[in-house]
Amino acid sequence: MTPTPTIKKYFEAVGRRKTAIARVRLFAGAKTGFEINGKTLEAYFPTKEMQATAGEAFAGAKTADKFHVTAKIVGGGINAQSEALRHGIARALMVYDITTRGALKKLGYLKRDPRAKERRKFGFKKARKSPQWSKR
């Protein structure tokens, strides 16, 4: 008896930005849209800019209206969360179809943005701001 080929139910990836982590699952099928932490895209990301940021990976890969996205996002602010979601979607699209890698890489969606807040140093007020210097 030959084993039946396994059919993937979803394509999963993790996206990160600053301290935000997004675990993304793409479901291929008739139902399309976003479900983020149990909410819709419009309810979770209030501004149009953040909604557009979250969906940019689909536009870059030319696969809009093909997937239903579910995501669990923790940490960071909402802007970092939208960018983490975009990173996760881009990685999941690459798992779905490796030929999208070139377009997504050119747009910079596969690179994890390494910029994060610098830690505060001892003797300083902030990361680099020192106390006011007094001559006498």
Specify the pLDDT at position 6. 59
Rounded to whole angstroms, the Cα distance separating 42 from 133 reads: 49
The partner residues of 74 in beta bridges, in order of sequence, read 21
Site of tokens 């953040």: 50
Specify the pLDDT at position 72. 96
The partner residues of 17 in beta bridges, in order of sequence, read 20
Specify the pLDDT at position 2. 62
Q: Are 122 and 116 in contact (CB under 8 A)?
A: no
Rounded to whole angstroms, the Cα distance separating 86 from 126 reads: 31
Distance set, CA 12 to CA 2, 28, 89, 93, 94 (Å): 27, 12, 9, 9, 10
Q: What letter does residue 55 receive in the DSSP assignment? A: H
Q: What is the reported pTM?
A: 0.86
Q: Are 12 and 92 in contact (CB under 8 A)?
A: yes
3-class secondary structure, 25: strand
**Binned average pLDDT, 10 residues per bin, the chain of 136 residues:** 65 94 89 91 94 90 86 94 94 92 92 93 94 90
- The dotted CATH code for 11-107 is 3.30.230.10
Specify the pLDDT at position 5. 57
Specify the pLDDT at position 1. 58
